[in-house]
Structure 1
Amino acid sequence: MPLFHPDNRNRSDQHRKIYAYCEIAYTIVDVSAAVLFVVGSVLFFQEATTYAGTWLFLIGSILFGLRPTIKLYREYTYLRMGDYEDITRK
């Protein structure tokens, strides 16, 4: 089972379930980060709200950093399910 291969999600019902949960988490993080960046941008229009806007930018950036972590978690979970010998095959 090579890492990040698109067919990995269909190897079993458990793989499909893990993929679905990770896609939901990925989408929630993606939308949340985008909303924080938009709201943070609006807050930059007034000097009184710039501090809050900066915090929203920081939190949004952290969420964007969480995105690849979700994918790594998914692949790690697949590996824990077995098929270690196939990890380097293409």
Structure 2
Amino acid sequence: MPLFKPSTRRRYIADRRAYAMFELAYTTVDVSAAVLFVIGSIMFFSEAWQTAGTWCFLVGSICFALKPTLRIIREIRYVEDDDYEDLAKKFDQRD
């Protein structure tokens, strides 16, 4: 089962709690990044607040980097929960 295959998301809807937790984390990180970038942008209008605004941009950028990381963690978890032994067998057969 390849990573990021759309059918894997539908298959694991039955694991509602895990799916919901990943979606909640993804949305929280997304909103946090957007809010930090807006606040950082407003802070840049004043020279006195530019350092704080720079920190908001940095933390917002880290939040944006967390988004794909969360997706990868979720996809790997789904692959491992399904049939990672079968995947290993398929990999061995290619050699």
If the TM-score is normalised by the length of the shorter chain, which range does it land in? 0.7 to 0.9
Indicate the residue corresponding to 1:28 in structure 2.
28
Unmatched 5+ stretches in structure 1: none
Distance 1:34 1:66, change over 3 A: same
Q: TM-score, normalised by structure 1?
A: 0.85
Q: Deviations over 1:18-60 (max 9, x none)?
A: 2222111111100000000000000000000001000000000
Give the superposed CA RMSD: 1.8
Indicate the residue corresponding to 2:64 in structure 1.
64
Larger Rg: 2
Select the structure that is richer in helix: 2
Q: TM-score, normalised by structure 2?
A: 0.81
User: Distance between the aligned counterparts of 1:34 and 1:59, measured in 2?
Assistant: 11
Indicate the residue corresponding to 2:46 in structure 1.
46
Unmatched 5+ stretches in structure 2: 91-95
Matched length? 87
Q: Relative contact order, CA 8 A, sep 6+: which one is greater? A: 1
